[in-house]
């Protein structure tokens, strides 16, 4: 699976969590997964806690976070670009 295919798992729905990035249209925010990993939870723990969650979903969250940091773009418009790697914004660094 390439990076773009991973990122297709990250979606945005204005009706769910105010448009924050979520996983495959479900009510699980990317920030929640990242927070759990930062707190020391393992991928296995996440997969047990959310039976529908797949390892590739967790990887997609990490790729999403990496892209966010890499571009230096903290605006809300970033989440609409993230799936289109053909025209990335320029880094502000």
Give me the number of domains the chain comprises.
Answer: 1
- The CATH number for 14's domain is 1.10.10.10
Four-residue CA torsion sign, 18, 93, 33, 64: positive
What distance in Å separates the CA atoms of residue 79 and residue 75, rounded to the nearest whole number? 8
Range of the domain at 38: 3-81
Q: Give the pLDDT band (50/70/90) at residue 93.
A: very low
Please give the pLDDT value at position 58.
98
Instruction: Give the max Cα distance, the chain.
Output: 40
Residue 86 belongs to a domain? no
pLDDT tens-digit readout, 14-27: 999 999 999 999 99
Closest CA to 8 of 84, 88, 87, 66: 84
Where residue 86 falls among pLDDT bands split at 50, 70, 90? low
Residue 88 belongs to a domain: no
**pTM score, two decimals?**
0.76
- Residue 91 falls inside a structural domain: no
């Amino acid at each position: 699976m390439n990076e773009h295919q991973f990122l297709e798992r990250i979606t945005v729905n204005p009706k769910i969590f105010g448009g924050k990035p979520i996983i495959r249209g479900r009510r699980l925010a990317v920030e929640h997964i990242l927070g759990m990993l930062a707190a020391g939870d393992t991928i296995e723990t996440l997969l047990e806690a959310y039976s529908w969650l797949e390892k590739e979903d967790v990887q997609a969250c990490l790729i999403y976070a990496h892209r966010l940091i890499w571009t230096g773009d903290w605006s809300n418009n970033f989440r609409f670009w993230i799936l289109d790697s053909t025209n990335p914004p320029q880094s502000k660094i």
